[in-house]
A and B are shown apart, each in its own frame.
Chain A
């Protein structure tokens, strides 16, 4: 079912009111890979994800998803293909954790049907994978920031889509759960052939987990390519304006970025 190209983005620009937030992005993303989007604050990463998930529409250019224009899919259809773990999490009016995770099944359940056995299985499976079963009946508004974030990851897993987007999904997690979620995402890519597209601030995590990196700056695509070729001191310096050195870490054999402190 996977065509040779999952997303093909041609000449895409976007502006809110004023200057362009995204400027002439051209990119082709094959399926079955772990993509990392890196770049300084306000460079348009989240807006770019919004365009890929269909939440916003580009002002010019086209985005094709599996060879069809993204805009030709209806929201429900798209939600069976793409899941998003957003940066912020509104708790609304205090649903329980189970109810929130079950919302991930929304695109799979007909309007007037109750959740079927397979929907509950997907919910149980997702909660077990993230290890939040004991939070099942808790109200989400009583959870800590990190717990909420894990609930949202579980919801995206329950959605059971071939493509997952993570927008800074581990920003409020401690190292244990950060690694848990990154390992989980990696397994989804390597064992199940899914695609993960993640906005990542921690360059060392990006270097360790991603197959391909997308460097963004000022709304433009600065660099795109396999991690070993793109995670370089020059690219980091150009994107973030900091001095860095990239080495192979002898402990975990991953690319390691060290920064020049106390300049």
Chain B
């Protein structure tokens, strides 16, 4: 039975998917060297089909710029945007709080602390993966600590979870400040990484974030209906046949994994996980099965646009985390005010 709201959702998702594709192609063309959409498609086609004849007639540097310089960065931005937005949907659904996101839980701070430690100690044990690995370990340890702190009688309480997250996040932030103080000459590396950047994106990073985002999407959609019912509170969801404690753990771990990978690859990028689910809930309603795909696409578009602005439009490259906070913060205030004024979903 396809109902009116479902039709609207399919149309919106289709539009968002097409916009994501367009945004990728348009932003690939933008930059120091302008490349036509046709040229971009020919380069991509040549690589996908393994047919070098497609790039004939293009300037020699074009395939290099598209494949090695721009696309890794652009795809990383889109995938990180999608990943952060989906994590936001999951955290908000589980914590029953539209203002929840990876930061409220301290996950991002945990990842940042781990990465700062790696940068400071100049760990090269695992080559290029040292920093991401440390970030990931930091995020997971933080999640486990926060979950442990908020578990009473074998049950996680949603309220204590936020509180524990804020406390642990505050401790970790102080820890990061301490590391910066110790870092002395290396402090610039840590600070720049913390503010978030796509400048050093690689295909390995694309693959890593891509796998994490795909994994997150599959798990979250699998438990989508359970997540809807969990918004009724534990007593109700349990009596409706949802194993609340189990689903909550699985989804929290999944969202934290996605967040950790995103933070590890690009540093701290705020507000995407907070704003996108909020905006999309406005358009598709509270159903997480619709909210997840819509938010993934919207997150991809939004972060890609922000990155393109800092990369190709602004005269100086501003750290992406600073830009999303500067644009996202006031935007969020506006939505928040409107939400309180008029009739809305909450």
A contact set with B: CB distance below 8 Å:
16-17, 50, 53-55, 74-80, 82-84, 86, 88-90, 92-95, 99-100, 103-104, 106-107, 111, 114-115, 120, 139, 141-142, 152, 159, 165
Nearest CB of B to A149, in Å: 13
Q: Is the CB of B98 within 8 A of A106?
A: no
Nearest CB of B to A258, in Å: 35
Question: Contacts A90-B232, A92-B232 given: A53-B241 contact, CB under 8 Å?
Answer: no
Question: Contacts A55-B234, A55-B235, A84-B236 given: A76-B241 contact, CB under 8 Å?
Answer: yes
Determine whether B281 belongs to the interface, using a CB cutoff of 8 Å to chain A.
yes
Contacts of B32 in A (CB 8 A): none
| Interface residue stretch chosen among B135-143, B172-180, B205-213, B223-231 | B223-231
Contacts of A104 in B (CB 8 A): 240
Q: Is the CB of A114 within 8 A of B1?
A: yes
Question: Contacts A50-B235, A86-B236, A92-B231 given: A107-B241 contact, CB under 8 Å?
Answer: yes
Separation of A114 and B287 alpha carbons in the complex (Å): 14
Q: Is the CB of B153 within 8 A of A17?
A: yes
Determine whether B126 belongs to the interface, using a CB cutoff of 8 Å to chain A.
no
Contacts of B233 in A (CB 8 A): 86, 88-90, 92
Q: Is the CB of B235 within 8 A of A79?
A: no
Separation of A76 and B285 alpha carbons in the complex (Å): 26
Nearest CB to that of A108 among chain B residues?
A: B241
Nearest CB to that of A119 among chain B residues?
A: B1
Q: Is the CB of B229 within 8 A of A17?
A: no
Contacts of A139 in B (CB 8 A): 345
Determine whether B286 belongs to the interface, using a CB cutoff of 8 Å to chain A.
yes
Contacts of A165 in B (CB 8 A): 239
Nearest CB of B to A207, in Å: 27
Contacts of A55 in B (CB 8 A): 234-235, 238-239
Q: Is the CB of A93 within 8 A of B242?
A: no
Contacts of A16 in B (CB 8 A): 152-153
**Interface membership of chain B positions 244-279, coded 1 if the CB is closer than 8 angstroms to chain A and 0 otherwise:** 000000000000000000000000000000000000
Nearest CB to that of B344 among chain A residues?
A: A94
Q: Is the CB of A94 within 8 A of B239?
A: no
Question: Contacts A74-B243, A84-B239 given: A93-B225 contact, CB under 8 Å?
Answer: no
Contacts of B241 in A (CB 8 A): 75-80, 106-107
Residue from B222, B231, B240, B243 in contact with A90 in the complex, judged by beta carbons closer than 8 Å: B231
* Other A-B pairs beyond A50-B235, A74-B243, A94-B286, 19, CB < 8 Å: A53-B238, A53-B239, A55-B234, A75-B243, A84-B236, A86-B235, A88-B233, A90-B96, A90-B232, A92-B96, A92-B232, A92-B286, A95-B228, A95-B287, A103-B229, A106-B241, A106-B242, A114-B1, A139-B345
Contacts of B185 in A (CB 8 A): none
Nearest CB to that of A93 among chain B residues?
A: B286
Nearest CB of A to B102, in Å: 19
Determine whether B38 belongs to the interface, using a CB cutoff of 8 Å to chain A.
no
Separation of A251 and B327 alpha carbons in the complex (Å): 70
Separation of A141 and B344 alpha carbons in the complex (Å): 10
Separation of A114 and B1 alpha carbons in the complex (Å): 8
Separation of A188 and B125 alpha carbons in the complex (Å): 68
Separation of A92 and B242 alpha carbons in the complex (Å): 16
